[in-house]
Amino acid sequence: MIDLMVHLLFLLLLPPLLMGIINKTKAGFAGRRGAPLLQRYYDILKLLRKGMVLSATTTWVFQAGPLITLIAVLLAGLLVPLGSSPALFSFTGDFLLFAYLFGLARFFTTSAALDTGSAFEGMGASREVTFAVLTEPAMFFAFLVLARLSASLSLAGMLHSRFVALDYPGSVAPMVMILLGLFIVFLAENSRIPVDDPTTHLELTMIHEVMVLDHSGPLLGVIEYASALKFFVLGSVLINIVMPLYTDRPWLNWLMFTSGMIGLAFLVGTIESITGRLRLPRVPALLIVAVLLCSSAFVILLR
């Protein structure tokens, strides 16, 4: 019970902190002091109190987009195991719901972007749906590998069961491969470098930031929060794969999990500092690498 409460609290409160950690890391690499760790919380609270400007072209879809996205991502967050909590809901086939909730979010984010009738946001929507066509297969190959290894068809079973990868000699390589593949998917889905650059939005090459160009005030706050939440939820899947071991002490599990998430944010910040964004036509190649990694993992496992 306490675990579930902690799950909910972490899910709701932790995500913006990770954004702060990424920005601090990047500032550190650049030799700056950077914004405070809690800056993203301040931003979101500030935005929620503001008024907003709506384009005369838009309809209700424009306003529904961010809300449905947030609800979908939040529900997905209830399905993943975090720390020592096995997930709020868990049932056979919930991983499909998990994947398709992100699809629902994508549908409404891109529709809201198209509602403005702006060329920029159309470009963003176009790229978002394009890259999803390559990230989804990678994700499902990874699910196949996890389902085969854990003999379970629920997220909690796949990620939180105590199957020990090392017990099974053939399973280490597939696990490492899907981990790499999923990490690329994670960067793409969260619009991070090298796929997308979250710090600018006026260039023609952007994806996520350009789709939300017209949102302002509370709606923008909701979007900021939802994207931090998405980072947290997808990141926790990675952390679960890296650290499938759990102790009997809940506090230790939560500590391990939290330090894992902080480490992930640090890693993302480091990647953003030391690499550049790929040219847009090269992005599919990167995503195909992710698909190949995950599919080879599946083939190795079946061999």
The per-residue b/e assignment along 213-241, b for 16 or more CB within 10 angstroms, e otherwise, is bbbbbbbbbbbbbbbbbbbbbbbbbbbbb
Closer by beta carbon to another protein, 111 or else 273 = 111
Cβ atoms 238, 263 nearer than 8 A: no
Q: What single-letter amino acid sits at 47? A: L
Cβ atoms 101, 73 nearer than 8 A: yes
Min dist CB 85 to another protein, Å, is 18
Min dist CB 27 to another protein, Å, is 27
Min dist CB 293 to another protein, Å, is 13
How far apart (Å, rounded) are the C-alpha atoms in residues 160 and 133? 28
User: Of 248, 98, 231, 100, whose CA–CA distance to 159 is shortest?
Assistant: 98
Closer by beta carbon to another protein, 62 or else 246 = 62
Indicate the angle between helix axes 2-13 and 250-274, nearest 10 degrees: 20
Query: Could you tell me which residues are beta bridge partners of residue 85?
Result: 82
Min dist CB 75 to another protein, Å, is 7
How far apart (Å, rounded) are the C-alpha atoms in residues 219 and 62? 9
Closer by beta carbon to another protein, 17 or else 125 = 125
Q: Does residue 174 have a cis bond before it (omega within 30 degrees)? A: no
Closer by beta carbon to another protein, 41 or else 131 = 131
How far apart (Å, rounded) are the C-alpha atoms in residues 235 and 242? 11
How far apart (Å, rounded) are the C-alpha atoms in residues 146 and 169? 15
Cα-Cα-Cα-Cα dihedral sign, residues 162, 166, 171, 175: positive
Closer by beta carbon to another protein, 180 or else 255 = 180
- Copy the structure tokens of residue 138: 């990678």
Closer by beta carbon to another protein, 94 or else 224 = 94
Min dist CB 88 to another protein, Å, is 11
Min dist CB 121 to another protein, Å, is 8
DSSP states of 199-226 as a string? T--SSTT-SHHHHTTT--HHHHHHHHHH
Closer by beta carbon to another protein, 59 or else 199 = 59
Closer by beta carbon to another protein, 85 or else 295 = 295
Min dist CB 49 to another protein, Å, is 9
Min dist CB 166 to another protein, Å, is 19
